[in-house]
Amino acid sequence: MFPYVHSIVVTKETKLNRASWAIWSSIGIINLTAYFFAGEKETIWYVIAAAVNPTILFFLSLRFGEKQWYRSDTVCLVLAAMALVIWRLTGSPVLALIAGLVADALGIVPTFLKVRRDPFSENLLGWLALFTASVCNVIAIKEWTWANGVYNVHAVSGSFLVVWFIVKGQFFSKTASR
């Protein structure tokens, strides 16, 4: 989190996508609640961080984020909200976790699109740290359950994809000469 916040506030390298961080902060809090009520406590600290950090970053996005709002941002927010309504109607913690992960995955779309437009608008070190933390959390699992398995595989996959798109954009494109 620290290199990422530094790249937002100090170097101004990172321009946050407000839609992604709005989704991730909301989903993080909901996923934390669902994860806890699904009985998962072994790797809860990662899930706590996945709720608190996006909330901080959402508030930073209000000041330091992209000024442009895209139609894809609205579509992802609406779809994420629909996933949450489905959970609310069922009341099932496992369904809440699934709905939260679907909404969380939708939250990454605006950031993917932003990185495609400008691969230098995201901080590689911050995303590598998240990917590393996700992998470490998988390693920390002593007993695999459906809930902790799907959550943690999702976290590794999502962070890996952002890292891949940043690296691909920064090092393998014509914009790398920037």
Domain ranges of the chain: 2-173
If you write DSSP's letter for every residue of 11-34 in order, what string do you get? S------HHHHHHHHHHHHHHHHH
> Distance between CA atoms of 125 and 99, rounded to whole angstroms?
29
The first and second tokens of residue 58, run together, are 């959402």
**Chain centroid, CA 156 distance in Å:** 10
pTM for this structure?
0.72
**CB of 86 closer than 8 Å to CB of 99:** yes
Tens of pLDDT, residues 92-145: 767 767 777 777 787 888 888 888 888 899 999 999 998 999 999 888 888 888
